[in-house]
Amino acid sequence: MDGDWVFEAIGTRWRLTTEAPLTDAVRRAVALRIDAFDRAWSRFRAGSVVDAVRATAGRHRMPDDAGPLLALYDRLHTATAGALSPAVGDGLEHLGYDAGYTLTARPGHRPAVDWGAVGWDAPYLETAKPFVLDVGAAGKGYLVDLVTDVVLGFAEHRTGGVTVDASGDLVHVPGGRRRALPGRPGAPGATRLRRRRRRARRRAGTSGALRVGHQPARLGRRSPPRARRAHRAARHRRARHLGRRRLRARRRRSRDRPLPARARRRGCSRRRGGCVVRPSRPRPR
């Protein structure tokens, strides 16, 4: 690919790969989008909405991109019976995962706030008491989606061929390819379609060109001699084919039919429609 950009953001390594060359405008737009998301949702930056929810209870206006993210957390909270919740920031900081990265657990236990009791009336979050919001479980993956939308918004990248990798949270949009039509090589179902056409031609006893271009005479119009000969040859081939099938079926039935008693006494057995004399066995004395 022509565009390959590796950079650091939100504490992790990013890699943006595109088929079209990456311009400075694309890089600048991506950097601004990541910085805006980090300013709004980071637990470690003053002035973020997380800092406001931590400070006081009440009604807090969330960022414009909060709707899909909080809706996802609602579904995850319900699906896991409360095991996955974005209201676990207090417990993480109590265990040492704080702004100073002390990584030292404090004594005691700090339970998480019930996320089901937190009200969400877009774009406002209503809380009964302060708590620390942490969207790290799904936030980085959501940011990868947002960055992908930013890149695809540029004209040179609208056809796809974009890969955004944020240390494992990855989105790949394949490049635009010409879609094969049904029946063409490489198209989905093309092989099955060709088989159906071959079976139809065999049932008709003619080739495709003969069926389309040389139809029998109708409404008093006589076909050309060449077409009549072709149809006659096709009918003969069909008759020979049916004759061979009937002959094979007759031989199969004759093989399955039991031998007469006289033939069995002679020691005969059927093999390929014939009678083969078995070698006589010496009688025991």
> For 121-165, how does the pLDDT look when each residue is reduced to its tens digit (9 = 90+)?
888 999 999 999 999 889 999 999 999 999 999 988 888 889 999
**66 is written with which tokens?**
């909060």
Whether the ω angle into residue 123 lies within 30 degrees of 0, i.e. cis, is yes
State residue 101's pLDDT score.
Answer: 80
Q: What are the C-alpha distances in Å from 263 to residues 135, 271, 277?
A: 89, 13, 10
pLDDT in tens, 54-76: 999 999 999 998 999 999 999 99
Beta strands in 204-266 (DSSP E): none
What CA–CA distance (Å, rounded) separates 237 from 240? 5
Q: Which of 15-19, 164-168, 203-207 has the lowest mean pLDDT?
A: 203-207
pLDDT in tens, 236-245: 777 777 777 7
State residue 238's pLDDT score.
Answer: 74
What CA–CA distance (Å, rounded) separates 103 from 32? 30
Res 48 pLDDT > 50: yes
CATH-assigned architecture of domain 1-43+134-175? Roll (3.10)
State residue 202's pLDDT score.
Answer: 63
The structure's pTM equals 0.59
Res 169 pLDDT > 80: yes
State residue 218's pLDDT score.
Answer: 43
What CA–CA distance (Å, rounded) separates 136 from 88? 10
**Residue 73, φ and ψ in degrees, nearest 5:** -65, -35
Mean pLDDT of the chain: 78
What CA–CA distance (Å, rounded) separates 270 from 255? 6
Res 31 pLDDT > 90: yes
What percentage of residues in the chain have a pLDDT greater than 90?
33
SS3 98: coil
Report, as an integer, the average pLDDT of 194-201.
67
pLDDT in tens, 175-186: 864 334 344 444
What CA–CA distance (Å, rounded) separates 254 from 271? 10
State residue 57's pLDDT score.
Answer: 92
Residue, of 226 and 47, whose pLDDT is higher: 47
Res 212 pLDDT > 70: no
**232 is written with which tokens?**
């006659």
Residue, of 53 and 246, whose pLDDT is higher: 53
Task: Out of 48-52, 176-180, 197-201, 218-222, give the one with best mean pLDDT.
Answer: 48-52
